[in-house]
């Protein structure tokens, strides 16, 4: 029982809380009306709460202003405007906060068809370097709200919207409310994501500021089997949580006095951790012979009690440690004791999910220094928003940072501002980047002298100042051994003291490429061009020849990926203990990097039909491409004949096992299949038109579509991928490669590969998702899945074609459209197949049809009034 304490009775009189409200009214509140033009009335008082809302224009450097359509019935001013972000991947708000203070952070998103495209966006919401939530307005309707209790680790809080697909992120309102630090239990590396706040009443009104001093939003909840209890008397709410009196004046009790009062909510992930805060007050006048006493039970196990609610005073019960739930739901029951004459009573409760925010922010001093450098040179790169170093896929352009465990703040070790249009002198703030190893300021218009402090930065091994207009003498400290210094192209810079014009015989730059090396480079370039013109087929051989020597190291020397030794691979896989699967490349093992990041390690076997060429192709591709729907390469091992690829670990395996139900995969419903298809198509579209040069995957199949913990799809296995070397080259001759059944028949016969080959394979994948039939059926006269579908489609009944595991739970129009799309993709003639961009558009239409079936009775206005409260996720009660 000592684990669970939460008895917080009145320690001060009611006048205390009134004084707090008067003294701290809206103190520390940040209320931003996103998209409100700065020249409009700001601040203004919102009509229902009297909260002061400000324009967000001074809190963010990017984005455009939009306004929702006026015919949608949304009249509350903070939600009628929005800010949307068509440019850049990550766009961030910067808010000044108090380090170590707990805050309630609320972000609201309403699409309102502001762009008249009727395309609801899906994107990620980050809190600093950590993922807070995925905002899916396509799935949840027109509006959603996210709330979190968080304790910032610095005095600057960054809230970022991250583009993950084709749609444009947006935000309607952003609010911060400081909390009492003694309230709510926040784990060291995590925060509390608010799942629900409910008061038990038949009322239809939400409760928030000023009834709630912290501006929490309380929604009414009531069930038919309950009896409502109310009072007009004041209830003392002066514990540290201060639940609003308007909530405590209502309560529910089971109509059947011997029955428990139960609240429930779904829990799809058995590992999810919850915190429950329950607020009680006895608001009924009890007779001398009456007693109300009950226990709390969590999923069948005693949680707290017995307890008796205090009369007209608040008692808050909570657990110091988080709880999990099994069986797909959480159930909390309030059960009367044997000595109690009255049934249990409940006034209000809050449910939170623990989300881990384990990634530390970049070192504060480094962040301050790089911001000062940006200000010195008036740099306004759209990518320079949010945390400079993390997450790695969103790292600022031109930076590299130390690889470290998540609990240790990253440090900047590389800064490349070459050809950035810099003017003025070399910024003094550079010396505050104390872990800097490489600095490139070349090809700018920097003036003045080379500062002494550069020579005193002992970790600096590479400095490139070439191509500027620097003058004076080089400091003696820069002549130290081990420093690679480039200063050519600064005609007014000299290399001795006193400064003299060097003679032609003197070496102008202390460290330059030798004449012999330069001649070698020129020779190789000329030879390459001659060979390319006379015999293009030799070019690939030249690449491979170079790759057998030092070219591999050059190809793989990517700043954003890590090269591991073979001994590190053995350690991360615990000597290859846990096998995840096997492919053409070799065995795939489970591993752990930095003691916390799970990875999948693909190890080349000696018997593999694929070799170093495919290995290099896959590494080269994944070092160049970054997309939400492509599996992320964590690193690689290239040590002699020991070749390994280290990927992010996707816990839900591949799509194939979820269609068949084999390997522990769960059967996924139709709407999820459509979303997975859309995500896989987005990854392919990126390869086809987003890469330079464009890429063809060549092995698209359900086994190569992996699913993360949220069933988000990511394409994998790029060992067979090929690129088109120029934009005009739409086809290349190639050896046949891929998986039987998914192979493009036109490419198979002609040997000519194009992006339409991927489209064909995707069409087969889509047919699998629709029918759950084998692609090749060796036991049937109807061998191929396209033949099976052709036979069934002649009967005109979609039910006979659809996977019976779906149980007819799908919109027939959506199913037919998806089937027609799959067959057009799998057309034997490549010229008649759609592009992946067309596929994406058609899949979106399928999703709209399916969503309309599910959401026919949901009104936009009700969504706007309770945005983010998807009914499937609400607590239930009985």
Known binding positions: 602
Residue 318 pairs in a beta bridge with 277
User: Do residues 455 and 476 make contact, with C-beta atoms less than 8 angstroms apart?
Assistant: yes
Using alpha carbons only, give the angle 762, 768, 772 rounded to the nearest 5 degrees. 170
ω before 262 within 30° of 0 (cis)? Answer: no
Element (H, E) at 659: helix 655-660
Residue 11, C-beta contacts closer than 8 angstroms, at least 6 positions apart: 238, 239
Candidate list 699, 744, 758, 811, residue with the active-site label: 699
Q: Position of tokens 């030092």?
A: 550
Is 699 among the catalytic positions? yes
Task: State how far Cα 273 lies from the chain centre.
Answer: 20
Residue 486, C-beta contacts closer than 8 angstroms, at least 6 positions apart: 442, 463, 464, 465, 466, 509, 511, 512
Q: How far is CA 63 from CA 36, 60, 121, 788, 804, in A?
A: 12, 8, 15, 50, 46
How many Å apart are CA 406 and CA 357, to the nearest integer?
9
Question: Cα dihedral sign for 621, 625, 631, 632?
Answer: positive
- Residue 423 tokens, joined: 């003017």
Which residues define the annotated binding site for ATP?
602
Least Cα distance to 143 among 128, 124, 121 occurs for: 121
User: Do residues 405 and 596 make contact, with C-beta atoms less than 8 angstroms apart?
Assistant: yes
Residue 639 pairs in a beta bridge with 642
Least Cα distance to 250 among 216, 210, 280 occurs for: 280
Virtual CA dihedral for 288, 289, 290, 295, nearest 10 degrees?
120
How many Å apart are CA 144 and CA 852, to the nearest integer?
18
User: Do residues 699 and 739 make contact, with C-beta atoms less than 8 angstroms apart?
Assistant: yes
How many Å apart are CA 243 and CA 45, to the nearest integer?
24
Q: Is 182 helix (H, G, I), strand (E, B) or coil?
A: coil
How many Å apart are CA 843 and CA 837, to the nearest integer?
10
Residue 21, C-beta contacts closer than 8 angstroms, at least 6 positions apart: 210, 213
- Residue 120 tokens, joined: 């609801």
DSSP code of 702? G
- Residue 701 tokens, joined: 């199949």
Residue 83 pairs in a beta bridge with 65, 171
Residues serving a catalytic function are 699
């Amino acid at each position: 029982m000592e684990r669970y304490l939460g008895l917080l009775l009145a320690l001060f009189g009611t006048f205390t809380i009134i004084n707090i409200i008067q003294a701290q009214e809206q103190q520390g509140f940040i209320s931003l009306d996103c998209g409100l033009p700065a020249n409009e009335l700001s601040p203004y008082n919102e009509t229902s709460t009297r909260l002061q809302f400000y324009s967000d224009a001074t809190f963010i450097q990017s984005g455009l202003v939009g306004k929702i359509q006026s015919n949608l019935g949304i009249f509350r001013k903070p939600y009628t405007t929005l800010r949307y972000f068509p440019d850049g991947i990550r766009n961030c708000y910067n808010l000044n906060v108090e380090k170590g203070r707990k805050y309630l952070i609320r972000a609201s998103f309403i699409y309102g068809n502001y762009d008249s495209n009727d395309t609801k966006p899906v994107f990620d919401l980050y809190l600093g370097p950590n993922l807070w939530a995925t905002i899916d307005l396509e799935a949840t309707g027109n509006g959603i709200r996210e709330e979190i209790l968080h304790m910032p680790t610095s005095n600057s809080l960054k809230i970022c919207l991250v583009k993950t697909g084709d749609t444009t992120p947006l935000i309607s309102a952003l609010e911060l409310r400081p909390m009492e630090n003694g309230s709510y239990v926040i784990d060291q590396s995590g925060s509390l994501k608010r799942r629900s706040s409910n008061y038990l009443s038949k009322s239809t009104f939400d409760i928030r500021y000023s009834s709630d001093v912290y501006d929490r939003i309380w929604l009414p909840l009531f069930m038919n089997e309950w009896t409502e209890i109310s009072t007009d008397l004041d209830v003392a709410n002066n514990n540290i949580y201060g639940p609003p009196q308007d909530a405590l004046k209502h309560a529910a009790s089971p109509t059947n006095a011997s029955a428990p009062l139960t609240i429930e909510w779904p829990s799809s992930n058995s590992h999810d951790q919850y915190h429950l805060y329950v607020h009680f007050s006895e608001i009924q006048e009890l007779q001398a012979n009456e007693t109300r006493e009950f226990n709390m039970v969590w999923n069948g196990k005693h949680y707290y009690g017995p307890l008796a609610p205090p009369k007209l005073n608040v008692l808050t019960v909570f657990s110091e440690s988080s709880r999990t739930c099994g069986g797909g739901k959480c159930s909390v029951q309030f059960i009367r004791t044997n000595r109690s004459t009255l049934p249990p009573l409940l006034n209000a409760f809050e449910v939170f999910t623990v989300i881990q925010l384990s990634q530390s922010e970049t070192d504060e001093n480094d962040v301050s220094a790089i911001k000062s450098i940006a200000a010195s040179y008036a740099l306004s790169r759209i990518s320079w928003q949010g945390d400079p170093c993390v997450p790695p896929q969103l790292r600022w352009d031109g930076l590299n940072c130390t690889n470290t465990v998540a609990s240790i703040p990253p440090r900047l070790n590389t800064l490349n501002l070459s050809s950035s249009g810099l003017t003025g002198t070399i910024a003094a703030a550079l010396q505050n980047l104390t872990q800097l190893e490489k600095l490139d300021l070349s090809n700018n218009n920097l003036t003045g002298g080379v500062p002494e402090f550069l020579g005193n930065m002992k970790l600096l091994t590479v400095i490139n100042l070439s191509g500027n207009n620097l003058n004076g003498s080089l400091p003696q400290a820069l002549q130290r051994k081990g420093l690679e210094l480039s200063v050519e192209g600064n005609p007014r810079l000299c290399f001795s003291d006193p400064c003299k014009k060097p003679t032609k015989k003197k070496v102008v730059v202390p460290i330059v490429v030798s004449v012999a090396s330069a001649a070698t480079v020129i020779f190789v370039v000329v030879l390459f061009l001659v060979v390319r013109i006379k015999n293009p087929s030799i070019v690939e051989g030249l690449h491979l020849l170079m790759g057998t020597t030092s070219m591999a190291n050059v190809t793989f020397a990517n700043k954003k990926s890590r090269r591991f030794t073979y001994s590190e691979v053995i350690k991360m896989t615990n000597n290859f203990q846990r096998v995840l699967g096997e492919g053409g490349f070799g065995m795939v093992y489970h591993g752990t990097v930095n003691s916390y990041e799970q990875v999948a390690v693909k190890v080349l076997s000696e018997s593999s039909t694929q070799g170093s060429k495919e290995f290099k192709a896959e590494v080269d591709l994944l070092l160049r491409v970054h997309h939400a729907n492509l599996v992320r390469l964590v690193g690689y091992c290239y040590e002699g004949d020991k070749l390994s690829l280290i990927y992010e670990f996707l816990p839900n395996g591949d799509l194939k096992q979820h269609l068949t139900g084999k390997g522990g995969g769960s059967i996924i419903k139709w709407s999820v299949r459509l979303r997975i298809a859309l995500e896989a198509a987005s990854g392919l579209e990126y390869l086809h038109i987003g890469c330079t040069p464009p890429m063809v995957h060549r092995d698209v199949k359900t086994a190569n579509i992996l699913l993360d913990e949220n069933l988000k799809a990511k394409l994998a296995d790029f060992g067979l991928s090929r690129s088109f070397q120029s934009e005009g080259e739409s086809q290349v001759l190639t050896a046949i490669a891929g998986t039987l059944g998914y192979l493009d028949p036109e490419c198979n016969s002609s040997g000519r590969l194009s992006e339409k080959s991927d489209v064909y394979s995707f069409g087969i994948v889509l047919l699998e998702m629709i029918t759950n039939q084998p692609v090749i059926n060796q036991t049937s006269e109807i061998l191929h899945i396209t033949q099976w579908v052709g036979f069934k489609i002649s009967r005109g009944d979609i039910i006979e074609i659809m996977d019976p595991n779906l149980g007819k739970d799908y919109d027939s129009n959506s199913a037919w459209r998806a089937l027609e799309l799959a067959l057009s993709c799998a057309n034997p003639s490549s010229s008649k197949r759609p592009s992946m961009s067309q596929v994406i558009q058609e899949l979106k239409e399928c999703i709209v049809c399916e969503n309309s079936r599910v959401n026919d009775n949901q009104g936009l206005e009700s969504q706007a009034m309770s945005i983010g409260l998807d009914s499937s996720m609400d607590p239930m009660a009985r």
